[in-house]
Amino acid sequence: MVLGAVTLTACDSAKKKRPTYDGVPFKIKTKAVDKKNSRADFIVEIKDAGQSLEGARLAAAHAGVTYCLSEAGYGTSDIIWNINPRDPEAQLRLVDGAAVFQGTCES
């Protein structure tokens, strides 16, 4: 029984460590479109975007900046987006409930 309580506490603390956007701790996946060709082009996928479309936009913008600065190593947060997550008028692309954004890190 104690082990079960510890396990639940560990799961709870892992969720708390995930940043929230508009109050939602989204699962975010960021990856290069073609890692062998260039790490500059990338895709950000925000799972369950319907929980908060505004939060999904914020999460995508943050994930893009993090990707370009850290993962791709471009040293700049300048991004050319196909659909700019910071533009509230831009139509979101939803795939199986996930918001999908594509961008290119500017060098």
**Spatial separation of the C-alpha atoms in residues 54 and 103, rounded to whole Å:** 18
Asked if 39 and 32 count as a contact pair (C-beta separation under 8 A), the reply is yes
- Per-residue pLDDT tens digits for 24-63: 999 999 999 998 988 999 999 999 999 999 999 999 999 9
- Residues of the chain with pLDDT > 70: what percent? 85
- Per-residue pLDDT tens digits for 15-25: 558 889 999 99
pLDDT at 13 over 70: no
- pTM here is 0.81
The DSSP bridge partners found for residue 103 are 42, 81
Helix spans in 1-107 (H): 2-17, 53-66
- The average confidence (pLDDT) of the chain is 86
